[in-house]
Amino acid sequence: MSEIQISTEQTTSAERARAQGKPVELPAEYNEYLVVSLWMKTTQLWSWLKQRVLARRAGAYELCDVVAALVAFFTHRTPVRALRDFLKKSKPYGPELAGVLDRHAWISQPALSRALAGVDLQLARQVSAQLLLSSSRQALSHQAVQQTGYLDGQGDRWQVYHWDVTVTTLRRRALPQDEQLPEPARPGDRIAAPGYPGRKRGDIQLSRSTVSDANSALWLHADIQPGNGQLVSQLHLAAESIEQVEALVSKQVHDSVVVCDGVSGGLPQARVLREHGLKFVVRYGHYELLDEPQVQAWLQQGPWMAVQDSKSGPKRQAMSLGKRVLAGGQLTATVIVSRRRLPRSGRHRGAGKVVGSWVYELYITDLAETRWAANDVVTLYYGRTAIENRFAAEDREFALDRIFSFTGPGQLLAVSVALMIWNLRILRGCSVLDDEPVERLAQKPRPTPQQPLGTTSDDETPEPDTAQPLDPSSASTSSTSSGHEQEQPNESLRLAAERWCENHSSWHYRHDHRALQCPAGQMLRFSSLRERNKGRLMARFRGRSSVCSTCPKRSHCTPRTTSSHFAKEVVVPLVSQPNDTTSVTILNHSSRLRKPFTTLPPLIPVAPVLLPAVLRRESLKPLLTMTVSVLVPALSEQRKQAIAKAIDDADRQRRRLTIEQRIALNEYPFPDRILVRIVGQPGFLDWLDSANAWPRSG
């Protein structure tokens, strides 16, 4: 007979204390989890989460149990690589961690994976919005945040939002293929898709659209889509989240603006944000605007204004091109152009267009010139580089650049919980500044230009560009002409269009709309003027792609074009003499170009002075001094037997449960008996009160 050895594992101190009915002291790694848990219960966020159920159940666990586990994971002080390792490490303290939030059992790793897979997209977006809005509401109204925001050229406070997309990439490892092996399955294909070739050197990727408060670094919105994501859909979701935040801060600020990168040229961002009634600053990617002769004249003549910088990057200058009609008449916005010297190496990287020895960049905005000058707009745009630093900081603090669930909604839920904790750390950190009001330097008056607007200094004289501009003296023609002379460009355009329609009998010119009417009855509105060879001016009339692509007469109009984005364009010659003064006047009037910023805002806008990274570090220091013990009374034998017995036929047949019944499956039946004891240094509880972390009595 073989020898049998029997050994018993040594019980832990937590198990011994639990068996003796004594409180279990939690390790210091879970101190922040306790503070966040009590905050959720205080703000009624926990009650709201318990009313949401998963599409696919994970045993007795529901959405609230998933959120509790994710909060514990992201607040754990000791870095843990995976959720699986963390849940294994936290299992000895599971009853206490669950009991803090009135739950009976701590979720396991398989149950957590199934639960994340059971989160549908609508639920994930709803929960994400609630988590971020609840955690940022108090911080946005905090005195320290209100005292440190952006100030415009009139000295009024603005709310500035940064929108951008961060990318998580996945590498596809080679899988063995053989006739005897099953087809390879890649779980990453369920959440990611191919993106831009070579971007971050990943085979597939997922994009997270985010909105951040430029002052406090609070995360206000998150959404995850495979691949590059759908830009318009991402923008609409982001704008809806900003609208909810605007209801909280509208009374505290003069106005707000959204700063975006210029992906897809910048026009989609401007259209969507304007549709939601939000102001914008966007990089503009249509550099053919620089080829217009009148714009080239302004580039040579000025006025250029120095852009404030960090003293470590390239020195930029900026100038406004005034309000212009863009996208075939679909958008009217102010166009800002900036320039910087081409590096000595002659190599240009990044956005912009090289003309001569300068690199030009374009931006569009609808900010009032009386509050934000051209150089202020460029400074405001490059302030969005702060969001890139926050992406790097969140990766260091929470390691968010990884996969938590191979489903998009599950990944969004996990990321949103981490961003909520980020916001709460900033909220608790702001309490450090309560007794020390933030004092910022007085806003400086805008200095009087050393040179008249419209000229350049000797040391900043630009080198001649390759293109020859028109006579700069014609730049002010439209602004100095009388009312009768301003009607002349419209009249000249009408005569040229009617002359063209005489040769195209099915077309008509609508003078009231400055548009050509096609045989199908659609309007092709006047777009711009272009100078052809030998100085000949041509007027461009463009239709809308959404109309032309579905027009029944499209094949007769342009039989060569099959593009779904086709928009009909008609070019009408205006004059035959290149030096005709009427042509110059038409060019000035058609491009809607006016001398920019003859009157500048009286003050220089200032950026915020809050240091969110310091606030997050300060929020963790008081937690090191606290000691937490939790007492979760064991259930009686009668309660245990009741759990194992069916109370009716529905219970015995395992019928579908109501929301209340599903939540009650893992609900601790006697939450009033759970005792949480916190011991800290003098003033610790006052600090928690000031941080709105939890309520205390007595």
Q: At what angle do helices 408-430 and 121-140 cross, to 10 degrees?
A: 10
What is the rounded average pLDDT of the residues 532-537? 62
- The per-residue pLDDT for 471 is 34
Contact by Cβ (8 Å): 198, 238: no
Q: Give the model confidence (pLDDT) of 336-347 as tens digits.
A: 999 999 887 777
When mean pLDDT is compared over 132-146, 492-506, 558-572, the highest value belongs to 132-146
- The per-residue pLDDT for 303 is 81
What is the rounded average pLDDT of the residues 531-550? 71
Query: Confidence band (pLDDT; 50, 70, 90) for 609?
Result: confident
Contact by Cβ (8 Å): 572, 497: yes
Closest CA to 550 of 534, 569, 564: 564
CA distances from 437 to 147, 432, 434 (A): 8, 10, 6
CB within 8 A of 129, min separation 6: which ones?
A: 221, 241, 244
Domains annotated on the chain, with CATH: 26-118+621-690 (no CATH), 120-173+188-259+399-416 (no CATH), 262-383 (3.90.350.10), 484-590 (no CATH)
DSSP for 311-345, please give it: SSS---EEEEEEEEEEGGGTEEEEEEEEEEEPPTT
Query: Confidence band (pLDDT; 50, 70, 90) for 563?
Result: low
Residue 55 tokens, joined: 């599409």
The proportion of the chain whose per-residue pLDDT surpasses 70, expressed as a percent, equals 79
Residues constituting the chain: 698
- Please, what is the Cα angle at 539 between 538 and 544, to 5 degrees? 135
Instruction: Tell me the C-alpha distance between 18 and 37, whole Å.
Output: 21
Closest CA to 366 of 253, 230, 246, 266: 266
Residue 124 tokens, joined: 């994930």
Instruction: Tell me the C-alpha distance between 527 and 529, whole Å.
Output: 7
What mean pLDDT value characterizes the chain?
A: 80
- The H or E element spanning position 73 is helix 63-75
Query: Confidence band (pLDDT; 50, 70, 90) for 580?
Result: very low
3-state secondary structure of 572: strand
Q: Which residue has the tokens 């745009």?
A: 381
Query: Confidence band (pLDDT; 50, 70, 90) for 440?
Result: confident
Residue 429 tokens, joined: 């950190």
Instruction: Tell me the C-alpha distance between 315 and 459, whole Å.
Output: 13
Residue 552 tokens, joined: 């029944």
pLDDT over 90 (residue 450): no
Q: Give the model confidence (pLDDT) of 379-393 as tens digits.
A: 999 998 889 899 999
Residue 21 tokens, joined: 């009915």
Instruction: Tell me the C-alpha distance between 229 and 224, whole Å.
Output: 8
Q: Give the model confidence (pLDDT) of 136-173 as tens digits.
A: 998 898 888 888 889 999 999 999 999 999 998 888 77
Contact by Cβ (8 Å): 608, 588: no
Residue 152 tokens, joined: 């415009």
- The per-residue pLDDT for 490 is 63
Q: Which residue has the tokens 């009160």?
A: 689
pLDDT over 90 (residue 5): no
pLDDT over 70 (residue 323): yes
Instruction: Tell me the C-alpha distance between 404 and 525, whole Å.
Output: 51
Q: Which residue has the higher pLDDT, 526 or 445?
A: 445
Q: 3-state SS string over 179-229?
A: CCCCCCCCHHHHCCECCCCCHHHCCEEEEEEEEEECCCCCEEEEEEEECCC
The β-bridge partners of 359 are: 340, 354
Contact by Cβ (8 Å): 399, 391: no
Longest dimension (CA), the chain: 118
pLDDT over 70 (residue 282): yes
Q: Give the model confidence (pLDDT) of 508-529 as tens digits.
A: 888 777 788 888 888 888 877 6
- The per-residue pLDDT for 637 is 57
- The per-residue pLDDT for 66 is 95
The proportion of the chain whose per-residue pLDDT surpasses 90, expressed as a percent, equals 37
DSSP for 272-325, please give it: HHHHTT-EEEEEE--GGGGGSHHHHHHHHH---EEPP--SSS---EEEEEEEEE
- The per-residue pLDDT for 436 is 65
- In the chain, the N- to C-terminal Cα span, in Å, equals 67
Q: Give the model confidence (pLDDT) of 349-383 as tens digits.
A: 778 888 888 999 999 999 998 899 999 999 999 99
pLDDT over 70 (residue 530): no
CA distances from 376 to 16, 24, 309, 624 (A): 65, 57, 11, 43
Query: Confidence band (pLDDT; 50, 70, 90) for 651?
Result: low
Cis ω for the linkage preceding 303 (within 30 of 0): yes
DSSP for 564-630, please give it: TT---EEEEE--S-TT-HHHHHHHHHHTT-----SS--SB--B-----HHHHHHHHHTGGGG-EEEE
Query: Confidence band (pLDDT; 50, 70, 90) for 31?
Result: very high
